[in-house]
Amino acid sequence: MDASVPAIVINRLPLYLRALDLMVENDQRLTSSQELAEWLGISSAQIRKDLSHFGEFGKQGTGYEVPFLRDQLRSILNVDQLWDMAVVGAGALGHALVNYGGFAHRSFRVRAVFDVDPDKIGQSINGMAIESQTVMVERLQTMEIKIALLAVPVRAAQHVADLLVKGGVRAILSYAPITITVPNGIQLAYIDPVVALQSMTYYLTPVVT
Amino acid sequence: MDASVPAIVINRLPLYLRALDLMVENDQRLTSSQELAEWLGISSAQIRKDLSHFGEFGKQGTGYEVPFLRDQLRSILNVDQLWDMAVVGAGALGHALVNYGGFAHRSFRVRAVFDVDPDKIGQSINGMAIESQTVMVERLQTMEIKIALLAVPVRAAQHVADLLVKGGVRAILSYAPITITVPNGIQLAYIDPVVALQSMTYYLTPVVT
């Protein structure tokens, strides 16, 4: 981890990795910053500049070797290992996250699910028993889980985030539509569908009603 | 809509709008590109440059008027109107989307839910009846729905996207972890939690197992 690399550069690396993963799946051996630019809608100069923070990956005239650059990015992003995650909130969203097919093969797996509802605790999702939030801090520590997906109602989000940090979690991905505060050094990101929707409505013709 | 503005600039506008919405909620009257930069982790020069595509919003020395800039961004992004949306797939994720509290007050509302499962059709989520996918194309046209949230399994995603386009949908937000193809002029975005997770693992100490 190089703290001098701007966060906005780091945020683009997973997009490069996703494109490269697809190329590897299609047995593509070589790519270029121009091709990546076309796939991703980011300028080729920006892509070359972003990658140059981490070394010299391309060869003049031949471009990038796809499997090599993919492996380098996996290593830079620390996803050349499997990360265990906890899901907090066993409602509809929690169920969807436990069953999500996009984690497998992309270095993440859900290993624990917590909720406060006595009716849910003990039931299972995809073979995993829902555990009580009262044992969460201890369980997170024992299982050494460092990443959590926050799928609780807005009113509970900050309190649960505090508990997660207490349990040793270092990165929280929150689905709750509310701003959360975490101590320095704890990573926090939000899944906000409205941000994605508003980028698209820009291109739509307003509806006259 | 100005087609000459790069997509990457458009993608940042909702982040500015979200920050401004929060400032309005807190009755803050003035802000600056420096303050926005601090909130969002984007450089103040970039923010000024992004906004300059659309006009002269700030005043030398006083910065930006929060409610004014918020309203301008809402207008630019076409979210000064309410957009009706359809959810396709009434599984756990579909339920979570219909019940999501982040759409209200942010210019979006779910007006229809579709599924193929005979056991689900006719049941209701949050007071809304789940309709059969067989009537979806016609219903989308009648209701003039232009935006859809795709919450179906991977194997169905492309077929359903085709139906949505046939029904007149112009923007699709897909939760399926698979690449979808749509005709030119149709907007497509993905919700991919792994991209957000990988931006955070960069900052984590790898776990030795």
| A32-91: pLDDT as tens digits | 999 998 888 788 999 999 999 998 888 777 899 999 999 999 999 999 999 999 999 999
Burial call B176-209: b when 16+ CB within 10 Å, e when fewer: bbeebebeeebbebbbbbbbbbbbbbbbbeeeee
Phi, psi of A137 (to 5 degrees): -55, -45
Q: In the numeric block, which tokens belong to residue A134? A: 């009262």
pTM value? 0.90
Q: Are B104 and B127 in contact (CB under 8 A)?
A: no
Per CATH, the homologous superfamily of domain A83-194 is: NAD(P)-binding Rossmann-like Domain (3.40.50.720)
pLDDT in tens, A105-129: 889 999 999 999 999 999 999 999 9
Chain B interface disruption, residue of A195, A205, A209, most B CBs within 10 A:
A195
Where helices occur in A4-118 by DSSP H, the ranges are 7-25, 33-40, 44-52, 66-76, 92-99
Q: What is the dihedral sign for C-alpha A71, A73, A74, A76? A: positive
Band (A8; pLDDT cuts 50, 70, 90): confident
User: Which residue spans of chain B are classified as CATH 3.40.50.720?
Assistant: 83-194
Chain B hits for A147, Cβ within 8 Å: 197, 200-201, 204
Q: For A174-187, what is the mean pLDDT?
A: 93
A207 has pLDDT over 80? no
Q: Does pLDDT of A179 surpass 90?
A: no
pLDDT over 90, % of chain A: 81
Residues B13 and B50 sit within 8 Å (Cβ to Cβ):
yes
The pLDDT confidence band at residue B87, using thresholds 50, 70 and 90, is very high
Contact predicate B97/A93, CB 8 Å: no
What mean pLDDT do residues B31-52 have? 90
pLDDT beyond 90 at B205: no
Report pLDDT for A3: 76
Q: Where in chain B is the domain with CATH 1.10.10.10?
A: 7-75
Q: ipTM beyond 0.85?
A: yes
Task: Name the residue among B58, B103, B55 with its Cα closest to residue B83.
Answer: B103
Give the CA angle between residues B71, B174, A189 to the nearest 5°. 65
**Residue B164 pLDDT > 90:** yes
Evaluate if residue B209 carries a pLDDT over 60: no
| Inter-chain touch A102–B192, beta carbons under 8 Å | yes
Question: Between 1.10.10.10, 3.20.20.140, 1.10.468.10, 3.30.420.40, what CATH number should domain A7-76 receive?
Answer: 1.10.10.10
Q: Please give the Cα distance from A94 to A116 (Å, whole number).
A: 13
Q: Tokens for A28, please give them.
A: 């593509």
Q: Which of A143, A194, A205 to mutate against chain B (most B CBs within 10 Å)?
A: A194
Average pLDDT (B95-109) is 92
Query: Looking at residue B51, what is its pLDDT?
Result: 95
Q: In this structure, which amino acid lies at residue A184?
A: N
Q: A143 and chain B: CB distance < 8 Å anywhere?
A: no
Residues 83-122 of A with CB under 8 A from B: 83, 85, 91-93, 95-97, 99-103, 106-108
Find the CB nearest B204 among A8, A170, A201: A170
Confidence of residue B8 (pLDDT cuts 50, 70, 90): confident
Residue A209 confidence (pLDDT)? 55
CA distance A101 to chain B (A): 7
Structure tokens at B82: 């309410």
Contact A160, A149 (CB under 8 A): no
| Mean pLDDT value of segment A156-166 | 97
Q: What average pLDDT is seen over chain B?
A: 93
Confidence of residue B99 (pLDDT cuts 50, 70, 90): very high
- Overall fold of domain B7-75: Arc Repressor Mutant, subunit A (1.10.10)
